[in-house]
Amino acid sequence: MMDKQKRKAMLQIAVDSLRAAEYALGQLTDSYTEEHDGKFSACHPQSSFASSLGQLTQLRKSLMKARV
């Protein structure tokens, strides 16, 4: 039983860490100003940060649903 509690605690730490990373990456993504036409090209750092943010969000959500 103790192992399950430890795993739950470790999972919660992982979820909390991902939430903090999401916040930081979101702030970084939002720090870029809009381009002239309002869009960023696919190779712009803002686009890759936004994509990574989406992946982090998906990972965090799947971990939140996980069973230990």
Give the tens place of pLDDT for each residue, 3-39.
999 999 999 999 999 999 999 999 999 998 876 667 7
User: What was the pLDDT predicted at 37?
Assistant: 67
User: What was the pLDDT predicted at 61?
Assistant: 97
- Locate 23 and state its tokens: 């916040």
Give the tens place of pLDDT for each residue, 30-53.
998 876 667 788 888 999 999 999
Using a 10 angstrom Cβ sphere, with 0-12 exposed, 13-18 middle and 19 or more buried, the burial of residue 42 is exposed
DSSP result, 16-36: HHHHHHHHHHHHHHHTSPP-T
Residue ranges per structural domain of the chain:
2-63
5-39 as b/e: b if 16+ CB within 10 A: eeeeeeeeeebeebeeebeebeeebeeeeeeeeee
User: What was the pLDDT predicted at 34?
Assistant: 76
Please tell me the pTM assigned to this model.
Answer: 0.83
